[in-house]
Chains A and B, each alone.
Chain A
Amino acid sequence: GESVGLHLPTLSVQEGDNSIINCAYSNSASDYFIWYKQESGKGPQFIIDIRSNMDKRQGQRVTVLLNKTVKHLSLQIAATQPGDSAVYFCAEILHAGGTSYGKLTFGQGTILTVHP
């Protein structure tokens, strides 16, 4: 079946560097994408989202880019801090059949480690 996947399972960066976490999705009909951060033993925390009618969205220190042509999603974290160390998941929602509610399908996850 179609799924959301990640290119890199682990990413190590130095404090202060910019981080880029990538995600490839296979369902071209997905219309809503979300990035979540999950720290060890905790639930996922919403970071930023983007709809399919956009190609870029910025938040505080984070930017999500969506390239529908190649079905690629990325999360950029500026000036990465040790507190950013966590597992990052991309997730997609497909609003099938005109329903107002779609199910989240999570990607594999990328472990981000930030070294002081």
Chain B
Amino acid sequence: GAVVSQHPSRVICKSGTSVKIECRSLDFQATTMFWYRQFPKKSLMLMATSNEGSKATYEQGVEKDKFLINHASLTLSTLTVTSAHPEDSSFYICSASPGAGGDETQYFGPGTRLLVL
């Protein structure tokens, strides 16, 4: 149980294009989903927290117009990297938390490797 998927797993795009990454909780409803960014050999850095049906809360230094987050349902959140540039190349990881009954465990997706040329 508690499986989180991400799509795509890898994406290569040209500079200036937008890329959408999907995060799905497959066997539970996620009250809250989180988006992280990870550089090689570094730790995960939280980008934003999203609750179903409301606007995402972005961490300091993360541009909300650059990284658009939509949490349209209890099983799906999307991250859109708009007008991507090479410096946006990174490993993007989402997590989902049931939230119900005080269960705040975050279950992580497999990550999406983004390469912007």
Contacts and interface: CB of A to CB of B under 8 A. Distances in A.
B43 A109 contact: yes
A42 interface: yes
Chain A residues touching B, range = 20 to 34
Interface of B: 4, 6, 32, 34, 42-46, 49, 93, 95, 97, 99, 102, 104-111, 113
Interface of A: 32, 34, 36, 41-46, 49, 89, 93, 100-109
Contact of A101 (B43, B45, B104, B108): B104
Contacts of B109: 43
30 contacts: A36-B108, A41-B111, A41-B113, A42-B110, A42-B111, A43-B93, A43-B95, A43-B108, A43-B110, A44-B93, A44-B95, A44-B108, A46-B107, A49-B105, A89-B44, A100-B102, A100-B104, A101-B97, A101-B99, A101-B104, A102-B104, A103-B46, A103-B49, A104-B34, A104-B46, A104-B106, A106-B43, A106-B45, A107-B43, A108-B43
